[in-house]
């Protein structure tokens, strides 16, 4: 795991633990032995620590967290480096993160290639640097930079790290050769003063000012997360306490965080995000299917979704034909793209250079002929089967045979759309979430005839455009909207029965959702849900009236229709479930007129308002969604609960510190979740989403641990 060799007067400790040289137990043992050996070796006058392969150690081995820790701890290894009688040089390439940066900061010198990145991402795992990083970084960079870097987990490019004082030299050419030269040079220099513990934290007298600014910032930016606050506290102690006391304070905070549910959930989410990249479908998988190259693209439809999707492609440097049916719609799409780009530059999310390049890559057009040679098309027209089929029939005639044809549908079965073409194997769903340029989930959907090659192409495209792609099998509503349906219906049923929209939203926001379901409805538009309900009724061959209490055999609430009838469409009209300060306003306040609409709705239908507890609000929304999640697993719409959790985190901004709805259910205990679902099945009849799921029942009865759930998933799709 750590190869020891001597080159002239320099010992080289090469960490060899692919893929990221994580500092697992064997690596820590290897480093300890290597330092001890180098210190004793009479040929040796300095020591290099370097990573083999693609990177310097990218951190502790996260898989060891939560298991009994095995000595030597990272801190002990670091202390050996720090007190070594010979200077130690960290030679950095790739990603020097977490425990890797701890090792580098214990070393006496740090050199790095310019492509390297350094950082303390522990906070993203619900932790803080636990081997003294919070005490040593501030001694190099000062308090504000250390507080920001550690509480954000940001990866800092080598040149910036040099400016901060973290890196001593940026080097070029072969890293090992340069490091050997550097290590020889430093042999004659005194190096005891290089040990960071003896440095004084700059501007320590301003700690109160810096800490309160940092705390205000993290509480706003990372609302609900415990670790960022603890990170600031730990760095703060580097200025307020002695080094030893600061180390103890950091350790206490680290252990506290490590035992919290948040750390467990965030670490689960880290691996879940990687698990979903290992997709499988009938006839292929990430291992066997090769993606086709995507060098040029087209987006059909320049509305809000189409323009947002175009921004994603353009930002990744892909040329985009933006196709519309008339000049007016086309120009409004182009303007929207320009304004999204300008906004992203202003927020620092996109560089001016990227925005300028995007402008040259955008090709607005009214002609299907222009897109005949593109590698991939994404259709983003109105959510209507007939319109989509018309578009796909045209694409089938015009596009080159190898082109991948994607549909940005949020609900419609891919098989129904692909039937309009002679090449269903090339048709695949790419469901973006609004706003498309911001939300990270890309729900990719395969139909019965979609080829693994087409899937591999859109899974790769997702990564290219900086999304988190999750693969699901086609069905009505797919994964995300199928689960969102009961979640969102229950919210409105709760108000029908007696809760206020504010009470429902509050429960959701207290749980960690960034916005309650009624604020979301106001944002997306009450007119939109009104129209979707009409589409559903049309498909069912029925219509919605004031008397409608059931739709397709399921409970239906017409409250949304009453708001629509009053012209209250949400933010866009300045009022909806809430009142806003102006048309397009963002500040939601309770509105007596809205309350009046709700009251008269109840009266006209003879509903007696009742008091509903926060617990009932929570359970009815989240447990109904979880029940649907198990149904989705049972049907093989996805392969593993991780796919569901990642979809919620990146599609609906579910709080990562809770892991996702399925992980959350595992923490509550499946038997309890199942019992409550049975309770609501009895007390809230007329909703199919309360029929207790069989897979959930089986897993609950057999007390199957979370890691085994995937083994019980339908294998029909493999
Ligand atoms: C009192 C006790 C004191 C103890 C103090 C201990 C203090 C130290 C704490 C830490 O170091 S916490 C860890 C900090 N490091 C990180 O968080 C980095 C996590 N990794 C990444 O961000 C990325 O993996 C990367 C390094 C930027 C590389 O990205 P890339 O896209 O190239 O690869 P991935 O697909 O993400 O990963 C490949 C493969 O490697 C696994 N993996 C990555 N990092 C770790 C890790 N730190 N531990 C274990 N495994 C890791 C990852 O899961 C992938 O595995 P597979 O999916 O291929 O199986």
ipTM of the complex: 0.98
479 vs 470: CA distance, rounded Å? 10
The set of residues, in sequence order, having a beta carbon less than 8 Å from that of 443 and lying 6+ positions away, is 429, 430, 431, 433, 469, 470, 472, 478, 479, 480, 647, 651
Give the residue, by CA position, lying nearest to ligand 1 atom 43: 20
Q: Which of 111, 112, 131 is nearest to 120 (CA)?
A: 131
CATH 3.90.226.10 domain locations along the chain: 2-259
pTM for this prediction: 0.95
C-alpha of residue 708 to centroid of ligand 1, in Å: 23
C-alpha of residue 58 to centroid of ligand 1, in Å: 6
Q: Which of 150, 125, 149, 177 is nearest to 10 (CA)?
A: 177
C-alpha of residue 22 to centroid of ligand 1, in Å: 7
C-alpha of residue 313 to centroid of ligand 1, in Å: 28
CB atoms closer than 10 angstroms to residue 608: 8
Q: Is the CB of 424 under 6 A from ligand 1?
A: no
Give the residue, by CA position, lying nearest to ligand 1 atom 58: 274
Give the residue, by CA position, lying nearest to ligand 1 atom 44: 20
C-alpha of residue 95 to centroid of ligand 1, in Å: 10
User: Given this model, what pLDDT does residue 715 score?
Assistant: 56
Cis peptide bond upstream of 19, omega within 30: yes
CB atoms closer than 10 angstroms to residue 223: 12
CATH of the domain spanning 499-604, picked from 3.40.50.880, 3.40.50.300, 1.10.1040.10, 1.10.420.10: 1.10.1040.10
CATH number of this structure's domain 2-259: 3.90.226.10
CB atoms closer than 10 angstroms to residue 547: 7
487 vs 628: CA distance, rounded Å? 9
| Contact yes or no for 257/232 (Cβ under 8 A) | no
| Contact yes or no for 478/445 (Cβ under 8 A) | yes
Give the residue, by CA position, lying nearest to ligand 1 atom 8: 99
Q: Is the CB of 132 under 6 A from ligand 1?
A: no
Which residue ranges of the chain lie beneath pLDDT 70? 714-718
Q: Is the CB of 274 under 6 A from ligand 1?
A: yes
C-alpha of residue 264 to centroid of ligand 1, in Å: 15
In angstroms, the Cα distances linking 538 to 186, 295, 385, 541, 550 are 78, 40, 12, 5, 14
Q: Which fold has domain 290-475?
A: Rossmann fold (3.40.50)
Give the residue, by CA position, lying nearest to ligand 1 atom 15: 59
Indicate which residue of 71, 102, 169, 503 is catalytic.
Answer: 102
Strand, coil or helix: 598: helix
Indicate which residue of 64, 122, 208, 490 is catalytic.
Answer: 122
Our measurement of the distance from residue 132's CA atom to the centroid of its chain's CA atoms, rounded to an integer in Å, reads 28
CATH 3.40.50.720 domain locations along the chain: 290-475
User: Given this model, what pLDDT does residue 532 score?
Assistant: 86
The set of residues, in sequence order, having a beta carbon less than 8 Å from that of 61 and lying 6+ positions away, is 22, 23, 24, 25, 27
User: Given this model, what pLDDT does residue 242 score?
Assistant: 96
**Which string of b and e fits 448-487 if b means at least 16 CB within 10 Å?**
ebbbbbbbbbbbbbbeebebbbbbbbbbebbbbbbbbbbb
Q: Is the CB of 617 under 6 A from ligand 1?
A: no
Q: Return the CATH class of domain 614-712.
A: mainly alpha
CATH 1.10.1040.10 domain locations along the chain: 499-604, 614-712
Q: What is the DSSP letter of 25?
A: H
**Which residues sit opposite 443 in a β-bridge?**
431, 470
Give the residue, by CA position, lying nearest to ligand 1 atom 20: 58
Q: Is the CB of 134 under 6 A from ligand 1?
A: no
Catalytic residue check, 102: yes
């Amino acid at each position: 795991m750590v190869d020891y060799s001597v080159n002239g007067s320099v010992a080289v400790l090469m960490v060899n633990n692919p893929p990221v040289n994580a500092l697992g137990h064997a690596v820590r043992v290897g480093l300890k032995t290597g330092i001890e050996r180098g210190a004793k070796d009479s040929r040796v006058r300095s020591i290099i620590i370097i990573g083999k392969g693609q990177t310097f150690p990218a951190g502790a081995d996260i898989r060891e967290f939560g298991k009994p820790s095995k000595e030597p701890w990272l801190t002990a290894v670091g202390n050996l480096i720090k007190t070594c009688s010979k200077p130690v040089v960290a030679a950095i390439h790739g990603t020097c993160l977490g425990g890797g940066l701890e090792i580098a900061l214990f070393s006496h010198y740090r050199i790095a290639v310019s492509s390297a990145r350094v950082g303390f991402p522990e906070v993203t795992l619900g932790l803080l640097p636990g081997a003294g990083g919070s005490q040593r970084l501030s001694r190099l960079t000062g308090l504000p930079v250390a507080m920001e870097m550690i509480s954000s987990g940001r990866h800092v490019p080598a040149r910036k790290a040099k400016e901060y004082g973290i890196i001593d030299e940026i080097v070029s050419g072969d890293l090992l050769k340069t490091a050997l030269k550097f290590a020889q040079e430093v042999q004659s220099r005194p190096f005891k003063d290089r040990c960071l513990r003896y440095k004084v934290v700059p501007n320590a007298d301003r700690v109160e000012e810096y800490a309160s600014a940092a705390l205000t910032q993290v509480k706003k930016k990372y609302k609900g997360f415990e670790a960022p606050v603890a990170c600031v506290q730990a760095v703060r102690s580097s200025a307020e306490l002695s080094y030893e006391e600061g180390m103890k304070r950091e350790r206490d905070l680290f252990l506290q965080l490590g035992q919290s549910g948040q750390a467990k959930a965030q670490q689960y989410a880290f691996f879940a995000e990687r698990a979903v990249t290992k997709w499988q479908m009938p006839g292929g998988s990430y291992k066997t299917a090769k993606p086709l190259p995507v060098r040029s693209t087209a987006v059909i439809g320049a509305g809000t979704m189409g323009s947002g999707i175009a921004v994603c492609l353009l930002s990744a440097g892909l040329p985009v034909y933006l196709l519309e049916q008339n000049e007016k719609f086309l120009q409004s799409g182009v303007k929207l793209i320009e304004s999204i780009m300008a906004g992203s530059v202003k927020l620092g999310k996109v560089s001016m250079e990227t925005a300028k390049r995007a402008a040259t890559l955008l090709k607005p057009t009214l002609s299907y002929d222009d897109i005949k040679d593109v590698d991939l098309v994404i259709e983003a027209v109105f959510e209507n089967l007939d319109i989509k089929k018309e578009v796909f029939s045209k694409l089938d005639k015009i596009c080159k045979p190898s082109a991948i044809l994607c549909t940005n549908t949020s609900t419609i079965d891919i098989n129904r759309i692909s039937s309009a073409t002679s090449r269903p194997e090339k048709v695949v769903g790419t469901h973006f979430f609004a706003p498309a340029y911001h939300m990270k989930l890309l729900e990719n959907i395969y139909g019965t005839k979609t080829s693994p090659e087409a899937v591999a192409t859109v899974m790769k495209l997702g990564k290219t455009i900086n999304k988190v792609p999750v693969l699901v099998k086609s069905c009505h509503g797919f994964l995300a909207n199928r689960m969102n349906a009961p979640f969102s219906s229950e919210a409105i049923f709760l108000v029908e029965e007696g809760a206020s929209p504010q009470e429902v939203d509050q429960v959701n926001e207290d749980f960690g959702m960034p916005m309650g379901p009624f604020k979301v409805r106001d944002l997306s538009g009450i007119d939109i849900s009104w129209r979707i309900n009409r589409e559903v009724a049309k498909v069912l061959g029925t219509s919605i009236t004031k008397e409608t209490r059931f739709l397709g055999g399921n409970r239906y609430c017409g409250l949304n229709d009453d708001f629509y009838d009053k012209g209250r469409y949400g933010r866009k009209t300045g009022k909806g479930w809430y009142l806003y300060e102006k048309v397009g306003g963002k500040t939601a306040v309770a509105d007596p007129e809205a309350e009046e609409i709700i009251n008269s709705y109840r009266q006209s239908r003879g509903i007696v308002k009742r008091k509903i507890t926060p617990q009932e609000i929570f359970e009815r929304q989240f447990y109904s969604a979880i029940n649907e999640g198990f149904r989705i697993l049972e049907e093989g719409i996805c392969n593993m609960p991780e796919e569901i959790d990642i979809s919620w985190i990146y599609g609906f901004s579910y709080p990562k510190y809770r892991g996702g709805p399925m992980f959350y259910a595992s923490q509550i205990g499946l038997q309890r979740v199942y019992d409550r679902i049975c309770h609501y099945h009895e007390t809230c009849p007329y909703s199919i989403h309360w029929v207790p799921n069989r897979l959930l029942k089986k897993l609950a009865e057999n007390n199957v641990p979370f890691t085994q759930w995937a083994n019980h998933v339908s294998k029909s799709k493999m």
